[in-house]
């Protein structure tokens, strides 16, 4: 007997459709770790993503800290003051 056999015998529910509730994330109430911060994102190849995540793991930092360090290096390269993470 198939493990799905019981599902085929079940009658379909004919009751009123149920309302689906979803949690709405309010941008006016961000988590404390995001207060005073702004998201910066980009689209990169899977290879770049893997390389960055691997580098972060090997150096014992998270991806955000690694990216902050990289952005500071770019700012220094172009004569700007580094901001820090």
pLDDT at 22: 62
Give the structural domain span for 68: 40-85
Give the contacts of 65 (CB within 8 A, at least 6 positions apart).
Answer: 56, 85
38-79: pLDDT as tens digits = 999 999 999 999 999 999 999 999 999 999 999 999 999 999
pTM for this structure?
0.60
Percent of the chain at pLDDT above 90?
54
Structural domains counted in the chain = 1
Chain centroid offset of residue 11 CA: 40
Structural domain contains residue 56: yes
The whole-chain average pLDDT of the chain stands at: 83
Domain assignment present for 4: no
Task: Tell me how far apart the alpha carbons of residues 36 and 84 are, in angstroms, rounded to a whole number.
Answer: 14
């Amino acid at each position: 007997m198939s493990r799905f056999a019981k599902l085929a015998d079940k009658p379909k529910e004919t009751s009123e459709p149920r309302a689906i509730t979803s949690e709405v994330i309010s941008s006016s109430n961000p988590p404390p770790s995001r207060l005073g911060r702004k998201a910066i994102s980009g689209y990169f190849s899977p290879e770049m993503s893997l390389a960055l995540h691997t580098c972060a793991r090997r150096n014992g930092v998270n991806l955000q800290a690694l990216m902050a360090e990289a952005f500071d290096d770019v700012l220094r390269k172009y004569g700007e003051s580094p901001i820090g993470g």
